[in-house]
Structure 1
């Protein structure tokens, strides 16, 4: 006996009806993370201890202390670049979308990346901090100088992109494992940027907090993503229902396609069969439906009745009033006989 779920199309089944909500614990973590975010920004703006620590790490020059790992970390930092990581995670979530018959994984990834680019991008452009390689004076915070490194985009992107996999995990065990892996990747990417000298330590710290805040606010966007998913699925079903397969109608024998019948064609007489001889009754030859006269067929000679083609002959039939070329000329001309005498 078939159940109710089997009677519903696969794309309409609620495979994952439970969506995360903004609980008190999550809200408390979000508020604490926001306080840390503001504290870091204020500390850098006032050139307090975060800036002093930034300069201490920068002057230590980690890339010169451990040069043997420089090549490996050049490749490892790609795990925080937005393009490669977004493509890799989108491919995995696309397979999950196909398997679970729901658009939620891709919608969560798109929403998180949109929030990340909007918030982190606005902060980068607004504060305009220069990186360690472009610092102008020792001890300065390098703020509002036309830079775009505060907060660290690599670090925030690593937190969000890999954290989305933990956010979408369907079991608590898988969520814990994915959370640990995402945290290690985000920690490694952030410290790698400090090692390479492309970011201050405060940039990385602010990037961690910015990415975590994006993940924490995703439950607030779950109702919007649910409505977007329902609208997209409804649109897909309507497009699929409107798809009609065109089946051409059978064409009767003797009808010429592409030649529309006109009023003149209706007035023409019907085509009559004509025998092998001349037209019956003479007169004007009958016309067919397209208006062209139909001529009676002519008899053709068979190959044995035709004049053969020879190197010296012609296909033209011989005439009685012509003298063959091989016959001797008459006495009136005397050319042939004189030539024979001279030759003798």
Structure 2
């Protein structure tokens, strides 16, 4: 009894890769629903509360100093090497390249630019909002703190909010935002949240950020993901414009290609005529000479009996013609009698 081999998960993955690229008939585009608006408002309120708590040097600032004096990198020195590598998941350059490579392949498979455009819009919002907040509040980091217990605000720093944490939220959260199924969206959302919080705590462990920096960075990245549905119409118009631009460029390129000229027969150059060639040309130009007349005895004519033919003496023969011969079938003539 023959049984079929059960396909493994790897076989199913390669089977999907072997399919031809196709554009999905329906792409689930998130909308700004009431639930999302509530989450956006709550996150924005949390963002403002963190900023206010740091500005007024509340208990959150005292907690920042306690964690800094605890020096986690000395308490758990054995994981220092792992944390040095793990924190790279929050650096903008490597993470943007990895996520862009995946979304670029997905864009090619689905014949749509929406994944790459959504990533570009999110990174642009991240640079503008987080960069403006960093420069506007100018908070110094733990390594550059000047006064114990102070909030270190407006002193020319650029660590509040945490850029690593906000970047991890956006770059890994965009995968959950662009997920094709609700189940995949839930799993990827949880994974991106854990990854981003881990990146933020890694910066606290290394002593490069305050704990409040991490909380504000996490809120800043979440605000960008929650606000992306407002930019979906802009993304759709940009995609349409880019595809139209591509079609016009292809049409212009096709029209600009030179039409191949018809292939003509090669022209043979005649060599310079010589004296022999002149004589041959003169012979060809003159009328053809008549061939010499065939002898009478070879001339064609009606077929006659040999007896009826006129005897012919070949030219140059010494034999006189026999005028007294009688042809066959003819009446004999009387011969004169001589001598009695």
Q: Which of 104, 108, 119 does residue 109 from structure 1 map onto?
A: 119
Within 5 A, what are the aligned runs for 1:226-305?
226-244=236-254, 245-253=257-265, 274-277=272-275
Cα distance in 2 for residues equivalent to 1:41 and 1:210:
11
Q: How far has the Cα of 1:11 moved from its partner?
A: 9.6
Per-residue CA deviation, residues 234-283 of structure 1 (Å, 9 max, x unaligned), is 11112222232434213434569xxxxxxxxxxxxxx97643339979xx
Q: Which residue of 2 aligns with 1:338?
A: none
Per-residue CA deviation, residues 66-90 of structure 1 (Å, 9 max, x unaligned), is 0010011001000000000000000
Counterpart contact for 2:142–2:209, Cα < 8 Å: yes
Per-residue CA deviation, residues 256-311 of structure 1 (Å, 9 max, x unaligned), is 9xxxxxxxxxxxxxx97643339979xxxxxxxxxxxxxxxxxxxxxxxxxxxxxx
**Is 2:104 the counterpart of 1:94?**
yes
Q: How far has the Cα of 1:177 moved from its partner?
A: 1.3
Cα distance in 1 for residues equivalent to 2:267 and 2:252:
32
Within 5 A, what are the aligned runs for 1:18-33?
18-33=28-43
The TM-score, its normalising length taken from structure 2, stands at 0.72
Q: How far has the Cα of 1:36 moved from its partner?
A: 0.7
Cα distance in 2 for residues equivalent to 1:192 and 1:13:
40
Within 5 A, what are the aligned runs for 1:320-331?
none
Cα distance in 2 for residues equivalent to 1:69 and 1:11:
44
Q: How far has the Cα of 1:141 moved from its partner?
A: 0.6
Cα distance in 1 for residues equivalent to 2:245 and 2:153:
48
Aligned length: 258
Counterpart contact for 2:57–2:151, Cα < 8 Å: yes
The 3-state SS of whatever aligns with 2:149 is: coil
Structure 1: where are the runs of 5+ without partners? 1-9, 257-270, 282-344
Q: Which residue of 2 aligns with 1:203?
A: 213
Q: Which residue of 1 aligns with 2:157?
A: 147
Counterpart contact for 1:78–1:84, Cα < 8 Å: yes
Structure 2: where are the runs of 5+ without partners? 1-19, 280-340
Cα distance in 2 for residues equivalent to 1:160 and 1:190:
13
**Is 2:136 the counterpart of 1:126?**
yes
Counterpart contact for 1:15–1:102, Cα < 8 Å: no
Q: Which of 51, 56, 76 does residue 61 from structure 2 map onto?
A: 51
Q: Which of 50, 67, 90 does residue 80 from structure 1 map onto?
A: 90
Cα distance in 1 for residues equivalent to 2:206 and 2:86:
11
Counterpart contact for 1:30–1:213, Cα < 8 Å: yes
Cα distance in 1 for residues equivalent to 2:207 and 2:262:
76
